[in-house]
Structure 1
Amino acid sequence: MSALQSNSRLIPLGLMAAGTFAIGTDAFIVAGVLTEIAAALRVGPAEAGQLISLFALSYMVFAPLSAWLLGNINRRRILQLALVLFIAGNLACAWADSYLQLALGRVLAALGAASFTPQAAAAAGTLVEEKRKGLAISIVYGGMTLAIALGIPFGTFLAHVIGWRDIFLGIAALGGVALLGLSWVLQDLPAPGKHSLRERLAPLRQRAVLSTLLITFFAVSSEHIVYSYVSVLLRDTRLGVEAILPLALLVFGVGAVIGNAVSGVLTDTLGSRLVLLVSIGIQTLSLFLLAFYAHSPWWVLGIFLIWGVTGWMYLVPIQHRLLSLSKRFGALTVSLNSAVLYAGIAAGGMLGGLTLYSLSVTVLPWLALPLGLAALLLTAVCFRKEPEHG
């Protein structure tokens, strides 16, 4: 492949990564600016936190629905439509005068995000030769990882300087760059094709697949019952005169990059069962320690680093396991796991919000403990008799 051809493929991949970076930042930025949104809209932190759950729940519903409805449309057109919806949703959030308007903006942004990310990953694989498909897909999803590492902590810091509304405007602008760029450089791509609802749910007939998806649900719920309200949990924690939250989120993001980088190698070397047991076990312990050390800045930074590493280690072995269990419906099985992941985010945020109506935020790490232990127990039991590699 010539250098010119290589560059012509890298540009659309980079633009897709810019889109997933904007989506990743948008999905979780509310956690970093939750107290500011709550104050501006005159609602409690519990209500503001439900905006995270609303986005996640909408994504969970819209991802398979949009894939089904848009299955016969040119994939380039799908990406354009998705980004238009995403931009419109974030503009609605930036200009919202009420909680309801902001909530509707989050739903619209989630519709765009759910339509864009899976199609961008699939499109990336069609732009390169077979042996480079993995690299192309990793570039697209790398935007999401970079959002966790840099977009969310930097956005949280900027929100304290310029205001949370401008953060949503910035996200919309980044989506606009991706839209204009892809409209300019991306060629027409074949329609993805449709799968019936029966085909999409076929993997659930396997008990081992269902139990593995439950591991995802409990592990993610455990994590996001705390993450969704981390700005409330760390509201009074400072390092010197500076609030610890932006730095803690940055440290978490660095940990996420490390965890994502090593998880594949560790899964291939040690097997999915051991990686899952270690990552979920350490994450559960880290979250529980926040019940005691949330007001100690150095403890917080250490916990967030370990949490970031382990929280981004367990998804790869879970997907490895699902692919080995359901070779015939591999792609559909992984898409189900993505839906369950967002269901876990929504459930964690909702449970945390309901808790804050009557109890202190310091209770949330205690609630994360049984959810994490449920994921750990399922891993220990369900992986016991299964081969590590399939």
Structure 2
Amino acid sequence: MSSIAVSDDLRTRPLLWLLGLGTFAIGIDAFVVAGVLGEIARDLATPVAGTGQLVTIFALSYAVLAPISAWGLAGWSRRSILLTAMVVFVAANVLSTLAPSFEALALSRILAALGAASYTPQAVAAVSELVSPVRKGRALSIVYGGMTVATALGVPFGTWIGQTLGWRATFAAVVVLGLLTLLGLAILLPSLAPPGSHRLRDRLSAITKPQVLTTLSITFLAALSEHTAYSYISVILDGTRFDDLPVLPIALGFFGIGAVIGNVAAGFGTDRFGNRAVIVFAVTVQSLALLALVFVQGVPLAACLALFVWGVAGWMYLVPIQHRLLDLSKSYGAFSVSLNSSVLYLGIGGGGALGGAFISYFEPNQLGFLCFAIGVLALANALLAFRGAKENVE
């Protein structure tokens, strides 16, 4: 089956929501560890600093495994890939739940990253077969909505579960979400055409095209810019209070609400105005919001507003970038999307490292200047990516 009629909305929309449920589970799994580090460290008798490397292990494993998986599974149907990926993801989280040692938990995180790296790019690429081009942006926003909701609601809730019932309960909750996704997809997902088998060299040739390479660089720089600050947001807002209440949890709530709004707006905006306009708008606004944080971080209401705007813009650039990559590389769409997932996670990991190096020499409240400079580079690449653009990369 090469496509599903847009009029068959009763069949298509549940599939999109199921794909989004899978990315929701993956989003919680990727980021919730940071919220239960103390519990894991105490239970497994490991230093907190060392336990924190579980996040890095997952991110780097995802970055490496996403393109390898897309290449290795190119001959499989997307249905088989998605179901197998979710089986691996669920099994990995069962192992995480039962892990008797830090080493076992670290290995389970690598396996979880393999399942996640195999699932997300194929879920995104499947959108092209499930909906018509005029609805692609909105469909992508539903699939990516899982990651957004995980950031806004799932991670805090998963952290609460871990702190209330123990960290193993958090991974058990992810298992349940994964099983629900697996069951739903097994029932409803049709036999979509395989991505297509090509030599690795042929697939990598797509990134030699300037438009593809510059588009991938937008993802990396935009993610690097925001995660340089987000990784240390608790330090940046330390001491800022609403009377007796610390502003951090309230500000993160504003960020999460903005993220949900931004994700929805990205889908409609991409379909209405095109991916170029949304990418340029999102990167520009995010950069300005991060710069503004330097000046308003000590003012509670203004800091919350800055994080809200940042949340909106920070979750607007992913959908149009994926949309553009699928347009640019019709033959190697899933592989290009997998590379985009890789550079996204490299940007997330790199942001933490760069921010840590920066605050070794400068005050944390000055991180916004660095983030703005990186954002300007991302904006320059966004403008460059569309210079003389063609619809496809052959």
TM-score bracket relative to the smaller structure: 0.7 to 0.9
Is residue 19 from structure 1 mapped to residue 22 from structure 2 by the alignment? yes
- Picking from 241, 244, 258, the partner of 2:261 is 258
Q: Is the 8 A contact 1:122 1:137 kept in 2?
A: no
The answer to whether the Cα contact below 8 Å between 1:32 and 1:156 also exists between their aligned partners in 2 is: yes
How many residue pairs match? The answer is 386
In structure 2, which of residues 38, 42, 47 is the aligned counterpart of residue 43 of structure 1?
47
Distance 1:137 1:259 in 2: 13
Residue type at the aligned position of 1:167: T
Between 145-154 and 251-260, report the one with greater CA deviation.
145-154
Q: Secondary structure at the match of 2:74?
A: coil
Give unmatched runs, 5+ long, in structure 1. none
Determine what percentage of the aligned residue pairs are the same residue. Answer: 49
User: 8 Å contact 2:236–2:297 — kept in the other structure?
Assistant: yes
Aligned to 2:171: 168
1:147 to 150, 175, 179: 150
Out of 355, 366, 369, the residue aligned to residue 372 of structure 2 is 369
Structure 2 residue aligned with 1:203: 206
Is the CA contact 2:262–2:315 (under 8 Å) kept in the aligned structure 1?
A: yes
Using the alignment, how far apart are the partners of 2:390 and 2:76 within structure 1? Answer: 39
Counterpart Cα distance in 2 of 1:372 and 1:134:
24
TM-score normalized by structure 2?
A: 0.79
Instruction: Indicate conservation of the 8 Å contact 2:141/2:267, yes or no.
Output: no
Q: CA deviation at 1:9?
A: 5.4
Q: 1:28 aligns with which of 19, 26, 31?
A: 31
Contact persistence 1:212–1:322 (CA under 8 A): yes
Match of 2:251 in 1: 248
Q: 1:11 to 1:207 in 2, by over 3 A?
A: closer
Task: Give, in angstroms, the shift of residue 323 of structure 1.
Answer: 5.5
Q: Which amino acid aligns with 2:32?
A: I
- TM-score (ref. length: structure 1): 0.80
Deviation per CA, 1:314-363: give whole Å up to 9, x if none.
23444455556556655544443333222212222333355577876556
In 2: Cα distance, 1:171 partner to 1:323 partner:
29
Does the C-alpha gap of structure 1 residues 31 and 233 become closer, same or farther in structure 2, counting only changes over 3 Å? farther
The equivalent residue for 2:282 is 279
Secondary structure of 1:22's counterpart equals: helix
| Corresponding residue of 1:225 | 228
Query: What residue in structure 1 maps to residue 303 of structure 2?
Result: 300
Q: Is 1:69 equivalent to 2:69 in the alignment?
A: no
Aligned pair partner of 1:349 in 343, 348, 352: 352
Contact 2:136 2:271 in 1 (8 A): no
AA in 1 matched with 2:311: G
Write the letter of the residue equivalent to 1:306.
Answer: V
Residue identity matched to 1:107: I
Instruction: Tell me, in whole angstroms, the C-alpha distance in 2 between the residues paired with 1:338 and 1:329.
Output: 14
User: 1:11: Cα distance to partner?
Assistant: 4.6
Give the Cα–Cα distance (whole angstroms) in 2 for the partners of residues 141 and 245 of structure 1: 25
